[in-house]
Structure 1
Amino acid sequence: MALTPLDIHNKEFGRSFRGYDEDEVNEFLDLVIKDYEALIRENKDLQNQLAGIQERLDHFSNIEETLSKTIIIAQEAADEVKSNSKKEAQLIIKEAEKNADRIINESLAKSRKIAVEIEELKKQASIYRTRFRTLLEAQLELLGKEDWSSLERMEIEHS
């Protein structure tokens, strides 16, 4: 058990014939009590300061831990946003490629259809030309026949 100022104050020493001067011992004990009390107060103050400092240290440790967790969460969120952005970009690219393929295929189909239509029109134009030529040749042949000359004469006679 620790010695208290009251223990020092209440300490009684036995008396002997040629012992120490009682007043000197009491004065010295009073000085020891004062110093001891001052040391106890100082120790208590230091313990209170230490407790306050420890409390602040705990507070700052909690802040540090919270900040660390926040930074980790922010980093994870940033990584997730980055990952989601990459996925979304890939989806957009795939969709664009699909649309491009669809547009190209539609354009090729239209182009083939137009080419077929052009060929059909060329055939029809050729057939029309041939028929027209045949008709013209037939008309020219008809005009070149003598019957035509007789028709002209008949018409002149009836006039």
Structure 2
Amino acid sequence: MFTPQQIQEISFDKVRKGGYDMDSVDEVLEPLTQDYLTLYQENSVLKSKLRILVEKLEEYRRQEGSMKNAILSAQKTSEQMIIDTEKKCAQMLREAEQTAQDKGNTAEVEEERLQAAKQMCDEFFDSMQKRLQQQMELLSKLRTMEPPKEATPAKENRIFDFDTQIAPTEQEREEALIEAIGQNIEERMSAGTLGEIGGMTIRTEPLSAQTQKMPEVPQEHHVATPRKFEDLKFGKNYNPNEN
């Protein structure tokens, strides 16, 4: 393709016969060169624009690929997030249901244990009340109980020896009376009862075991009285001549 400058530099040889008129040729070439120059310049501008457009198109195509990849990645990420969220929600729901069920079971078990404990306490209180009533009845009977009468030994007509025999004191008589009453109570309370209430074993102790736990009655203090008749003598060793 000729450039405008090349066209301007074209020269023709002069001939004498059968040649073109130089002035006529120049008149044609001058406007033709000008038009060609204009077209050439426009063509250059269009080529540069086309090159820019091609570059932009390639850039847009690259961006389009990146955008497509980004969209696909975002889509995959969103789908994975949705799946994970659904799984997590389902797991949380199962855990909540399991926790609620466990709490319900625990509450039922605790309620049963509470009711059992209340029943055990009621039965224990009833048993203790019955035992207390029995003990009160026994104490009431004990107040009206008379000691057993002991057989009085036959009196012998013999001389009482003060050196070898001593009359029983008041304390000894009281101890003998208490022992006789205790034996009578032990005979009445010898049969202890065993009962099982609410898983606990209750034993009714005989009254004799309870009387052993009662505080002892303080003994009366007896003041020893001096003997005024220490020198009295009786029997075969008695000698009236001795002072």
Taking structure 1 as the reference length, what is the TM-score of the superposition?
Answer: 0.71
Q: 1:7 to 1:131 in 2, by over 3 A?
A: same
* Counterpart in the other structure of 1:33: 33
Partners of 1:78 and 1:52 in 2: CA distance: 37
AA matched with 2:2: T
Correspondence list, 1:24-103, <5 A: 24-103=24-103
Partners of 2:31 and 2:12 in 1: CA distance: 14
* Counterpart in the other structure of 1:4: 2
Point out the structure with the larger helix share.
Answer: 1
Partners of 1:126 and 1:15 in 2: CA distance: 160
Encode CA deviations 1:69-126: one digit per residue, 9 max, x unaligned. Answer: 3244224323322332232122122112212211221221122122112212211211
* Counterpart in the other structure of 1:135: 135
Q: 1:11 to 1:120 in 2, by over 3 A?
A: farther
Partners of 2:112 and 2:98 in 1: CA distance: 21
Partners of 1:123 and 1:15 in 2: CA distance: 156
Unaligned runs of 5+ in 2: 150-172, 175-219, 221-243
Instruction: Quote how far apart the aligned CAs of 1:133 are.
Output: 0.9
Sequence identity, in percent?
Answer: 21
AA matched with 1:144: T
Q: 1:38 to 1:10 in 2, by over 3 A?
A: farther
Instruction: Quote how far apart the aligned CAs of 1:42 are.
Output: 1.8
Partners of 1:15 and 1:60 in 2: CA distance: 64
Q: 1:82 to 1:15 in 2, by over 3 A?
A: farther
Matching of residue 119 in structure 1 with residue 131 in structure 2: no
Partners of 1:61 and 1:93 in 2: CA distance: 47
Taking structure 2 as the reference length, what is the TM-score of the superposition?
Answer: 0.49
Runs of 4 or more consecutive aligned structure 1 residues displaced over 4 Å after TM superposition: 5-12, 14-17
Instruction: Quote how far apart the aligned CAs of 1:49 are.
Output: 1.1
Instruction: Quote how far apart the aligned CAs of 1:28 are.
Output: 0.7
Please tell me the root mean square deviation across aligned C-alpha atoms, in Å: 3.3
Partners of 1:108 and 1:15 in 2: CA distance: 133
Unaligned runs of 5+ in 1: none
Instruction: Quote how far apart the aligned CAs of 1:52 are.
Output: 0.8
AA matched with 1:128: M
AA matched with 1:36: Y
Partners of 1:53 and 1:7 in 2: CA distance: 31
Partners of 2:36 and 2:92 in 1: CA distance: 82
AA matched with 2:97: E
Q: How many aligned positions are there?
A: 147
Q: 1:74 to 1:15 in 2, by over 3 A?
A: farther
Instruction: Quote how far apart the aligned CAs of 1:130 are.
Output: 1.2
Partners of 2:71 and 2:87 in 1: CA distance: 24
Instruction: Quote how far apart the aligned CAs of 1:11 are.
Output: 7.9
